[in-house]
A and B are shown apart, each in its own frame.
Chain A
């Protein structure tokens, strides 16, 4: 547990952090957010003593951080930054192994750990182990940076906009991946960003800072539903309702979906259509092929498969690990009021309706 008590940082002529008090529980993913100059990086860097505190105290599991030698303290805390800072003269493996090496692990253990971390971050050890940083893309370098921060298996991770310098698509996939890794590792993470979408996507708690002062410290859901004052409201932006949807898993709002097989006679579907207004048409293996409505009944075809309006599940369906925001986005894009929920193979699991999303 990280605990800050009345922490203040004063630079000449400026108070960067002002009597800040908060706690980060074990296993929590705490995102500190705020506009530039709000003191978020300063706060982070006080926790591993890269910046000395002017007043107040910081404790780790009850022990004041000033009771440790700085190196001793930092070696139990992983640290990843936006500019990564890989050592250009060392291979990827040696970069990752630097802290274990400082802690005198034996070589075979370091090698095992390095490969394990490369695997964890989806970098093939056989390919990347012996590469040099200049051979890596921005996204790959960030992954190596995160792997390096995790190397000595610290209980705490400090991350200063670690995905800030990469393109939006890579960034989003890294966020998703990192959220998965965090589920597995259960680290205590303090993560600084100025990107509210990123904060909402990955945080278990968000801490909003303004001019070095704490404005709100709460779960993403509460921050969105009950923002503390104008500053937070404006910071979240006018699309906060949409942002909130990105926290909600689509499967939780899934309903049972009426369906027929493509080989079924069209007439057998009439009753269900009268009841539901539409039906999903499935192949014999359960994959979604299309849908039927009243107009389809007038087509005069024999089977459901011939009468249906076909759809491509890759375009119109919602996959199981989507969020409500993604589901809504699909529906708006395709102009449909209800979308089938499918697994990776396209097999129908249920459906999700516009009305349910609006009520969520």
Chain B
């Protein structure tokens, strides 16, 4: 027995949870119309016969996670299987949706159900785990992920998924969606940009002049603890009053609601991770290196650009990474004060009790955050000086 089985905890648990989800919860939800109460449709009840493939492959996945198989083959097969399963899940749901619409009319809606999400989540956990354990094979698994993403994009563009409720919400707001997406990126990007301009000098200053450390970080920490909704709220009357007092602000397009307060709040929240990591990054520089450098005749700016910044840069970049991911998420809330962004769909969806509309705002937000996070991770790995870490 010992020779045959070797349970890999993470994939095994994830696969087991997925199995339970298949048995106990609906794979998709059927609604007679957009906002009616839904009815669960289990995986084996889905139309089209793709679900059979899911069940079979899921069984293989559980086996794979429990059998003793040589490392490389295991990594490769698990990666391939999970990627295939992700595509199959989406294809099954989409196929069921289009068949249902044909049978029961175009007013009906098919949304993704709990089992779908749990399975998808389980597969992502397995893929991440595989990627982390893959060592030298990392590139192979990464390529697999990129290919999967490409196929998914193909399905999206080709219209295969169009009958899913979330895609029908999208179809109704095509123009609006790309606009809000750009607004979202612009809001998050410009606030983090501003936070860099302010936070990096602030962190450096706190490092250079120790008495400034406590007031600076006390303020930034306190600001960070204020709930974002409250901060957005506070700014509306403050900015409104300011524009009354200084009409020039109005000419600049600043109002109590809209982009101005959103950017201010997002910048404030981004300041802490940027400034704190800048501070920490600079403190990791050995004072002896600074003394030796100064003693050898390096100027302040030579020390800053040739010694301090290169040594501090990985930590600072990590701060920017945190700020970016956080800002992308928080920008969704900014829709509440009329700043636009993907949050618009979330709040509309909440108002109309239309879950799929909420998802239309939420899923792209999560997706952008994940992509930006891994991009930054890649950049940090490239930039990291070789002698460190």
- Is B truly associated with A? yes
Please give the residue numbers on chain A whose beta carbons come within 8 Å of chain B beta carbons, in ascending order.
Answer: 45, 48, 50, 70-75, 78-81, 83-91, 98-99, 102, 132-134, 145, 148-149, 158
18 contacts between A and B (CB under 8 A): A45-B295, A71-B298, A71-B299, A73-B297, A79-B296, A85-B288, A85-B289, A85-B291, A86-B289, A88-B289, A88-B387, A89-B386, A89-B388, A98-B293, A102-B298, A132-B387, A134-B387, A149-B296
Nearest chain A residue, comparing its CB with the CB of B313? A89
Nearest chain B residue, comparing its CB with the CB of A70? B297
Residues of chain B lying within 8 A (CB to CB) of residue A132:
386-387
- With A and B bound together, what is the CA distance between A118 and B299 in angstroms? 26
B294 within 8 A of A: yes
- Give, as a whole number of angstroms, the nearest-CB distance from B280 to chain A: 16
Nearest chain A residue, comparing its CB with the CB of B296? A99
Residues of chain B lying within 8 A (CB to CB) of residue A71:
297-299
A71-B298, A99-B297, A102-B302 known; A84 vs B386 contact (CB < 8 Å): no
- Give, as a whole number of angstroms, the nearest-CB distance from B389 to chain A: 9
Nearest chain B residue, comparing its CB with the CB of A134? B387
Q: Do B387 and A145 touch across chains, with their CB atoms under 8 A apart?
A: no
B286 within 8 A of A: yes
- Of A48, A89, A132, A149, chain B has the most CB atoms within 10 Å of the CB of A89
- Give, as a whole number of angstroms, the nearest-CB distance from A98 to chain B: 7
Residues of chain B lying within 8 A (CB to CB) of residue A134:
387
Q: Do A74 and B294 touch across chains, with their CB atoms under 8 A apart?
A: yes
Residues of chain A lying within 8 A (CB to CB) of residue B386:
89, 132
Residues of chain A lying within 8 A (CB to CB) of residue B385:
88-89
- Give, as a whole number of angstroms, the nearest-CB distance from A97 to chain B: 11
B123 within 8 A of A: no
Q: Do B295 and A90 touch across chains, with their CB atoms under 8 A apart?
A: no
- Give, as a whole number of angstroms, the nearest-CB distance from A48 to chain B: 6
Residues of chain A lying within 8 A (CB to CB) of residue B202:
none
Q: Do B298 and A89 touch across chains, with their CB atoms under 8 A apart?
A: no
List the count of A-B residue pairs having beta carbons below 8 Å apart. Answer: 78
- With A and B bound together, what is the CA distance between A90 and B292 in angstroms? 14
Nearest chain A residue, comparing its CB with the CB of B387? A132
- Within 8 Å by CB of B311, from A74, A80, A88, lies A88
Q: Do B388 and A75 touch across chains, with their CB atoms under 8 A apart?
A: no
Residues of chain A lying within 8 A (CB to CB) of residue B288:
81, 83-85
- Please encode chain B, from 208 to 233, with 1 for each CB lying within 8 Å of some chain A CB and 0 for all others: 00000000000000000000000000
Q: Do B295 and A89 touch across chains, with their CB atoms under 8 A apart?
A: no
Q: Taking A75-B297, A87-B311, A102-B298 as given, write out 19 further A-B residue pairs in contact, using a Cβ cutoff of 8 Å, ordered by the A residue number.
A: A50-B291, A50-B294, A70-B297, A71-B299, A74-B296, A79-B292, A81-B291, A81-B292, A83-B286, A84-B288, A85-B286, A85-B289, A85-B293, A88-B385, A88-B387, A89-B385, A98-B298, A99-B297, A134-B387
Residues of chain A lying within 8 A (CB to CB) of residue B296:
74-75, 78-79, 98-99, 102, 148-149
B16 within 8 A of A: no
Q: Do A85 and B290 touch across chains, with their CB atoms under 8 A apart?
A: yes
Residues of chain A lying within 8 A (CB to CB) of residue B290:
85
The DSSP consensus for interface residues of chain B is helix
Top 3 nearest A-B pairs (CB, nearest first) are A85-B292, A85-B288, A132-B387
- Please encode chain B, from 265 to 292, with 1 for each CB lying within 8 Å of some chain A CB and 0 for all others: 0000000000000000000001011111
- With A and B bound together, what is the CA distance between A131 and B187 in angstroms? 45
A89-B388, A132-B387, A134-B387 known; A72 vs B289 contact (CB < 8 Å): no
Q: Do B388 and A88 touch across chains, with their CB atoms under 8 A apart?
A: yes
Residues of chain B lying within 8 A (CB to CB) of residue A72:
297
B55 within 8 A of A: no
Residues of chain A lying within 8 A (CB to CB) of residue B292:
79-81, 84-86, 145, 148
Residues of chain B lying within 8 A (CB to CB) of residue A85:
286, 288-293
Residues of chain B lying within 8 A (CB to CB) of residue A73:
297
Total interface residues in chain B, CB < 8 Å: 22
B189 within 8 A of A: no
- Give, as a whole number of angstroms, the nearest-CB distance from A45 to chain B: 8
Within 8 A of A (CB), among B27-65: none
Residues of chain A lying within 8 A (CB to CB) of residue B387:
88-91, 132-134
Residues of chain A lying within 8 A (CB to CB) of residue B286:
83, 85, 88
Q: Do A102 and B291 touch across chains, with their CB atoms under 8 A apart?
A: no
Residues of chain B lying within 8 A (CB to CB) of residue A80:
292
- Please encode chain B, from 369 to 389, with 1 for each CB lying within 8 Å of some chain A CB and 0 for all others: 000000000000000011110
- With A and B bound together, what is the CA distance between A150 and B291 in angstroms? 17
- Give, as a whole number of angstroms, the nearest-CB distance from B294 to chain A: 6
Residues of chain B lying within 8 A (CB to CB) of residue A88:
286, 289, 311, 385, 387-388
Q: Do A89 and B294 touch across chains, with their CB atoms under 8 A apart?
A: no
- With A and B bound together, what is the CA distance between A75 and B302 in angstroms? 14
Residues of chain B lying within 8 A (CB to CB) of residue A48:
295
Residues of chain A lying within 8 A (CB to CB) of residue B310:
89
Residues of chain A lying within 8 A (CB to CB) of residue B307:
87, 89
Q: Do B297 and A87 touch across chains, with their CB atoms under 8 A apart?
A: no
- Give, as a whole number of angstroms, the nearest-CB distance from A105 to chain B: 14
- With A and B bound together, what is the CA distance between A80 and B385 in angstroms? 24
- With A and B bound together, what is the CA distance between A80 and B292 in angstroms? 7
Residues of chain B lying within 8 A (CB to CB) of residue A87:
289, 293, 306-307, 311
Nearest chain A residue, comparing its CB with the CB of B290? A85
- Give, as a whole number of angstroms, the nearest-CB distance from B307 to chain A: 6
- With A and B bound together, what is the CA distance between A86 and B288 in angstroms? 8
- Give, as a whole number of angstroms, the nearest-CB distance from B333 to chain A: 39
Nearest chain B residue, comparing its CB with the CB of A145? B292
- Give, as a whole number of angstroms, the nearest-CB distance from A143 to chain B: 14
Residues of chain B lying within 8 A (CB to CB) of residue A78:
296
- Give, as a whole number of angstroms, the nearest-CB distance from B296 to chain A: 5
Residues of chain B lying within 8 A (CB to CB) of residue A75:
296-297
Q: Do B289 and A74 touch across chains, with their CB atoms under 8 A apart?
A: no
Residues of chain B lying within 8 A (CB to CB) of residue A145:
292
- Of A71, A87, A149, chain B has the most CB atoms within 10 Å of the CB of A87
Q: Do B295 and A81 touch across chains, with their CB atoms under 8 A apart?
A: yes
Residues of chain A lying within 8 A (CB to CB) of residue B294:
50, 74
Q: Do B388 and A74 touch across chains, with their CB atoms under 8 A apart?
A: no
- With A and B bound together, what is the CA distance between A259 and B310 in angstroms? 68
- Give, as a whole number of angstroms, the nearest-CB distance from B310 to chain A: 5
Within 8 A of A (CB), among B292-324: 292-299, 302, 306-307, 310-311
Residues of chain B lying within 8 A (CB to CB) of residue A99:
296-297
- Give, as a whole number of angstroms, the nearest-CB distance from B314 to chain A: 10
Nearest chain B residue, comparing its CB with the CB of A71? B297
Q: Do B302 and A74 touch across chains, with their CB atoms under 8 A apart?
A: no
